[in-house]
Structure 1
Amino acid sequence: MIASGTHTNAGEPVRIWVDQSGLHAIEASLMNITDEVALLRRPNGSKVKIEVAKLSQADQDYLSSWSDRSGFSENHLRWTPPVLPKFSAQPLVDLPPATNLLDDGDALAPVQGALSLVKTSLPSACLPDPQPFSYDLAFGKQTIGDIEPYDSVSRPLVIATADQTFLAASISSGLNSTQSSTANRIVCYEPATGKASTVYQSKDPVTILDHHQPSGRTLVLYGHRVMGHGGQLAVARGWEDDKLSVKYFRSLPMMATSQTPAATEAKQVHWARWVDDEHVIAAIDSEIAVWNLFSGECAHRICRIHSACEPAISAGRRYIAVPRAGSVELYETQNGMSLGTIPIEPGQRPYVSFSPRGDSLAIATTSRLRVWELSSASVRGEAKSRRSLGKGAPVWIDTDLVLSSTGVLLSIYRGVPIWRYELSGSTVDSYGFSDQRRGVGLVTRRPHGQIAYVEVPHETVRRALPWVNDRLAPNVDAMWDIPGKSVLGEYGWADRDLQFTQFEQASR
């Protein structure tokens, strides 16, 4: 029996409601329940009334769980964080191995194969695809030499060997005239010991793209031009000896209608990740496809893509999210099959990232963050921001907190930003959740080039949360502002512009 007169909050997630027959469905959020009738709101604002008894058992159970709540707390939180289930990692993705080996410098095969018919309907429920490995990083930071404003800096990768766990990043010169043998470099930093070193130097640009932990292979783009065109995909190894070697150079695939070197030099790798220990998925020009990096064979196409859109791959490498203007498409990496389309505001270009838990996809525009839950095939929550969330992939901190590319820290359950970290000129990534040391890796240019693993959220933010909860109300969204910001200083985060009482005196 559903409690009559149960009122829900405007922050309820949008989800798919199905009737008893299973033949009819509606995308909507719950407004309230009165006399065994649920009032739902469609994304376009229209309202629909449905008798609870005519809904599927899963939807009735969902309504019962909300009715059992003791109402909203006095701080008017949107809803309290649920206890999310733990997921076991699925077996590693393993596509057919290479039967032949290309010579260094040979080109990957042209893109081939038919495109999957794109499903315009919402994705169905998908099995979670969690991160199969956990990492234990200490907090710390180290100077790695000046990084010029025109240099290209990769996102920091976490790499674990038998003896150490460290961060690695590449810095490539942004000047065509720079021909020094040390102009481009790969650096690594082990926070536990404070050791930082340069493990690779080259006169040619080199960018590290991804690391495959089981095989120890790091995917790099080598010899590309300043603006990113051309170059070769290759494999770097040797982290155990602190001295990398790069081999298995593969030129970019030529156009199917042209076999001239110029056709390869004009191409551009926008994004690339490992699928297994041999296969890579890459966005090259306007195509996303899967190649065997060793044989050069194109396994299958995924889709076409606009160069300004950066895809994301799930932690276990089973799903790929492809952002487009007004939507996000989901595909299976193993076969390129379309799983469905998640709509957003028309014309908006989103930025996406999968949770390390493998159950959620963060979808960010310049002013809003949504979280799509794979296992329930519904929007789990959203947060809006008056400050720009930037043009870059959001970074997961934990199941509640997500960091935007501009450093805005958003709480999914509260529905608002709760802090801002100054990240101008930095590249940032996170590596899974740890109750002991939760943070982000970053490479920053100011005041000197530094690589670091730093705590997020740090102590000041944790102490600010009761202030946030006390002032959070359903009608405050339009006026809501962030209670403080932090800048990375010599001794860690330095706090600025604090608004909450217990820190006002200390900040003067």
Structure 2
Amino acid sequence: MRPHSAAPLRLVAILWTVAWAVILAVLAAPGVADDTPDHELRLWKDASGSFQVRAKLIERTDEAVRLRKTDGKEISVPLAKLSQADQEYVDKATAPKPVIEVPERERRGLRRGDPSKSAGANKPLPDTGRSIDPGIDPVTGDFEPDPHNFVAVAELGSVPVCDTDAYDAVSAPKPADAACSKVLVSVGRHVITQPNDAKGRIYLVDWKQRRADPVWEVGKKLELLDHDPDSGRSVFTEGMDGLGRGGEIVVAEGLATGEGKILFRRTL
């Protein structure tokens, strides 16, 4: 039996080596990795018609253009020496793109239409019943400063209100009486992924008794903004989302006594 000849195997190995060498040479050749602007490969001519080259526009300056030929080499040609057709192509290819004006998007999340009617639109704001015009009314007598009734403030301490987490917004405490022995504080909850879990409460915190009782509760986010101890009126928001949009502003009275009722409500 004759042994197989190794010549065909050597020939195959040589052919594979040559093929890989050609592939690597093509990949490494200049101009293959093209990161230049997307201009077409075209035939360029000079003004006299005696010179022409197939190349791609790479860059334009005030006086010349830079072209990349099919072999990857780059040349610079003065603009004045190009044919009229080539100069027009350069002007068109390098002209600044027009600015597209995008219309301003409408604000979302806000209600349209007429504002809702207020429950307290016809009620006067609380005042002292006395008004003067400094520009007309004469000043008679000596200036009388407002009386100050200093009342001892309750001792410092802490009162547990309720369990909270990162999704609960707790308001600053608002004095419910002149002595600051009681304060009002709100806890509002709103989770974007769990809208049904939204809720809000206002608590009346008694420093002396060291207890907190809920005096207002709704099934949406709530935030207490302020409370006036003299009139017993409070202002707060209901129904705002996690970004502070939408909802309603509410004025109520009687929260400090646990008998709250709405005086005013307006959609934001």
TM-score, normalised on structure 2? 0.41
TM-score, normalised on structure 1? 0.23
Q: Which has the higher contact order (CA 8 A, sep 6+)?
A: 1
Query: Larger helix proportion, structure 1 or 2?
Result: 2
